[in-house]
Amino acid sequence: MNIDSMKQGWRLIALGDCCDIVSGSTPRRNVPEYWEGDIPWVTPKDLSTLDTPVLSGAPEFITEAGFKSCSTQMLPAGTVLFSSRAPIGLVAIANIPMCTNQGFKSLVPHKEVDSRYLYYCMKRLVPKVQSLGNGATFKEVSRSVMAKVQIPLPYADDPARSLSEQKRIADILDKADAIRRSRKVAINEFNSLAAAVFNQMFSKKLARAGWVDLSEFLEELRYGTSNKSGNGGYTTLRIPNIVRGIIDIEDLKTVDVSASEFGKLQLLDGDMLFVRTNGNPDYVGRCAVFDGEQFSKAGLPADKIIYASYLIRARLKLDRVRPVFLQSLLQTAAGRKDVRAKCRTSAGQYNINTKGIGSLQIPDIDIDDQREFEARISSLLPPLERLVAAQAESDDLFKSVVQRAFKGEL
Residue 181 has pLDDT above 70, yes or no: yes
Closest CA to 209 of 98, 354, 329: 329
Do the beta carbons of residue 274 and residue 289 sit within 8 Å? no
Give me the mean pLDDT over the 46-51 stretch.
84
Q: Report the pLDDT averaged over residues 376-382.
A: 76
Percent of the chain with pLDDT over 70: 94
Per-residue pLDDT reduced to its tens digit, 5-27: 667 889 999 999 999 999 999 99
278-305: average pLDDT: 89
CA 110 – CA 163 distance, rounded (Å) = 11
Domain boundaries, the chain: 3-156, 188-381
The pTM (predicted TM-score) of the whole model is 0.64
CATH homologous superfamily, domain 188-381: DNA methylase specificity domains (3.90.220.20)
Please compute the mean of the pLDDT values over residues 282-305 and round it to a whole number: 91
Please state, for a pLDDT cut of 90, what percent of the chain lies above it. Answer: 70
Residue 249: left if φ>0, alpha if ψ -120 to 50, beta else—which one? alpha
Residue 336: CB atoms within 10 Å? 16
Average pLDDT over residues 138-152: 94
279 or 10, higher pLDDT: 10
Q: Give the pLDDT confidence of 86-136 residue by residue, as tens digits.
A: 789 999 999 999 999 999 999 999 999 999 999 999 999 999 999 999 887
* 287-298 mean pLDDT: 91
**What one-character DSSP code corresponds to residue 86?**
S
Interval 233-266: pLDDT, tens:
999 999 989 987 788 887 899 999 999 999 999 9
Fold of 3-156: Adenine-n6-DNA-methyltransferase TaqI; Chain A, domain 2 (3.90.220)
Please give the full DSSP string across 309-342, using - where no structure is assigned. TTEEEEEE-TTT--HHHHHHHHTSHHHHHHHHHH
Please, which pLDDT band fits residue 192 given cuts at 50, 70 and 90? confident
Q: What is the chain's mean pLDDT, rounded?
A: 90
Task: Indicate if 188-381 has the same CATH topology as 3-156.
Answer: yes
The number of beta carbons lying within 10 Å of the beta carbon of residue 153 is 27
Q: How confident is the model at residue 405 (pLDDT cuts 50, 70, 90)?
A: confident
Residue 317 has pLDDT above 90, yes or no: yes
Please give the Cα distance from 76 to 124 (Å, whole number).
23
Residue 4 has pLDDT above 60, yes or no: no
Q: Which residue has the higher pLDDT, 385 or 103?
A: 103
Q: Which of 164-173, 258-267, 400-409 has the lowest mean pLDDT?
A: 400-409
